[in-house]
């Protein structure tokens, strides 16, 4: 797979698939421009070469064609400020007028296309739609790793119409950093899996059992394990249909010599609320009517100690309902341990989604090795699946 450094973009139009699916408030103002910032190096490289930039992205999940709240026009002024020039906006992502705007771009200019998902053909991977997109550029650049697991028109199908195609810096960094925990992990290697459901993480857990020394389980999914072991978990989250799977994973960890670490205690509450009454309970003995909403202080310390002794750390999923201040302590302690280990020379990959949100909430985003923006794409890549958006660049 070629990278952006393999090309000189002088006088060429780069059709770049970016991930500008950013949150907007009611006034259509961007509330978090992390994804836009991530794309700056790729766009800047092309402009520095003397190239021309055509940006395409989706925003949200529009249901009925062109919807005002999902229009990418709301991003144009912000992008103009970022790049210190007026970013041109095409009111459609395909068609004659858009092709003319692209053809007339001057060296160093930027054109932003309207939301790709205003066309159902985008998510359907329609070949004719992809061919129309391909008319807008000379070189195809995919820098949207977060959508690389989808065989959409702009992420995989369009690539077939280009002889010159490559990944951008975001895509390259995501793949390189994922490889550091998949194939090049220094021992001891600790993976931390959190979140609500085992079912969301089965495949990645099975992959990791062949690689890690410690597998830490936290968050809502841990209570399914405790119920499988015969414990009383009260009203805690549980996937009853996954109890046998939990037992199987426990047995597999034992057979492969992996230290499977479950939280010994929990912060429990009598309601799913920041104002609920709380107590600390052992995880095999949570009374009826109460639910675990965070790992307890003993679990947090045990997990933190394991993390601090590690050379490679993968974290995917919070330890509790960190969005509520009463139940953020466990996630924070684990995050602080990862920061400490990173400062001591460990490699730490924060695997997107809620983990990334937690790290950023606590202000640790710059204190870990890499924070993925990949979400589902990263999970699928780590599960061993081929990503259509990556395969298309091969």
Domains of the chain (ranges plus CATH)? 4-171 (3.40.50.1260), 185-382 (3.40.50.1260)
How far, in whole angstroms, is CA 377 from its chain's centroid? 7
Is residue 358 predicted with pLDDT exceeding 80?
yes
Is residue 201 predicted with pLDDT exceeding 90?
no
Is the separation of the CB atoms in 213 and 190 below 8 Å? yes
Q: What is the pLDDT of residue 355?
A: 87
Buried residues in 131-152 as b, exposed as e (16+ CB within 10 A): ebbbebbbbbbbbbbbbbbbbb
Is residue 81 predicted with pLDDT exceeding 90?
yes
At 94-103, the pLDDT tens digits run: 999 999 999 9
Once rounded to an integer, what is the mean pLDDT over residues 234-262? Answer: 96
At 282-315, the pLDDT tens digits run: 999 999 999 999 999 999 999 999 999 999 999 9
Q: What is the pLDDT of residue 154?
A: 98
The pair of structure tokens assigned to 43 is: 């766009």
Annotated active-site residue 197? The verdict is yes
Annotated active-site residue 227? The verdict is no
Sign of the C-alpha dihedral computed for residues 282, 283, 288 and 292 taken in this order = positive
Q: Which of 51, 353, 374, 375 is catalytic?
A: 353
Q: What is the pLDDT of residue 109?
A: 98
Q: What is the pLDDT of residue 375?
A: 80
Q: What are phi and psi of 353, to 5 degrees?
A: 55, -130
Once rounded to an integer, what is the mean pLDDT over residues 209-224? Answer: 95
Confidence at 245, pLDDT banded by 50, 70, 90: very high
Is residue 353 predicted with pLDDT exceeding 80?
no
Is the separation of the CB atoms in 221 and 198 below 8 Å? yes
Annotated active-site residue 326? The verdict is no
Q: What is the pLDDT of residue 384?
A: 87
Annotated active-site residue 35? The verdict is yes
Confidence at 249, pLDDT banded by 50, 70, 90: very high
Q: Which of 73, 180, 197, 311 is catalytic?
A: 197
Assess whether the previous peptide bond of 188 is cis (omega < 30° from 0): yes
Q: Which of 35, 45, 88, 165 is catalytic?
A: 35
DSSP letter assigned to residue 116 = G
Q: Structure pTM? A: 0.88
Q: What is the pLDDT of residue 383?
A: 87
């Amino acid at each position: 797979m070629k990278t952006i450094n393999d090309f000189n973009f002088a006088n060429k139009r780069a059709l770049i698939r970016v991930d500008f699916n950013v949150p907007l408030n009611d006034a259509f103002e961007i509330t978090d421009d992390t994804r836009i910032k991530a794309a700056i190096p790729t766009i800047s490289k092309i402009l520095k070469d003397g190239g021309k930039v055509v940006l395409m992205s989706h925003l949200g999940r529009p249901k009925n064609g062109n919807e005002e709240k999902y229009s990418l026009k709301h991003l144009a002024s912000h992008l103009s400020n970022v790049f210190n020039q007026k970013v041109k906006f095409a009111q459609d992502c395909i068609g004659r007028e858009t092709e003319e705007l692209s053809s007339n771009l001057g060296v160093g200019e930027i054109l932003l296309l309207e939301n790709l998902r205003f066309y159902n053909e985008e998510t359907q991977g329609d070949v004719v739609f992809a061919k129309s997109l391909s008319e807008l550029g000379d070189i195809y650049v995919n820098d949207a790793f977060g959508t690389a697991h989808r065989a959409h028109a702009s992420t995989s199908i369009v690539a077939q119409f280009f002889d010159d195609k490559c990944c951008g810096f975001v895509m390259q960094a995501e793949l390189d950093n994922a490889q550091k925990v998949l194939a090049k992990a220094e021992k001891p290697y600790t993976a931390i899996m959190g979140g609500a459901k085992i079912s969301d993480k089965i495949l990645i857990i099975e992959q990791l059992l062949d690689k890690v020394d410690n597998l830490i389980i936290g968050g809502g999914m841990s209570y399914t394990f405790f119920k499988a072991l015969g414990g009383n978990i009260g009203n805690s989250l549980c996937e009853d249909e996954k109890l046998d799977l939990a037992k199987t994973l426990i047995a597999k960890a034992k057979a492969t010599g992996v230290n499977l670490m479950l939280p010994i205690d929990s912060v429990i509450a009598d309601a799913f609320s920041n104002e609920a009454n709380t107590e600390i309970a052992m995880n095999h003995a949570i009374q009826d009517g109460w639910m675990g909403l965070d790992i307890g202080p003993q679990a947090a310390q045990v997990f933190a100690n394991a993390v601090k002794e590690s050379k490679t750390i993968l974290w995917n999923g919070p330890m509790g309902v960190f969005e509520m201040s009463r139940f953020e302590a466990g996630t924070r302690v684990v995050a602080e341990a990862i920061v400490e280990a990173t400062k001591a020379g460990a490699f730490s990959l924060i695997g997107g989604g809620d983990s990334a949100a937690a790290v950023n909430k606590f202000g640790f985003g710059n204190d870990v090795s890499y924070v993925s923006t990949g979400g589902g794409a990263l999970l699928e890549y780590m599960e061993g699946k081929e990503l259509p958006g990556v395969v298309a660049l091969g």
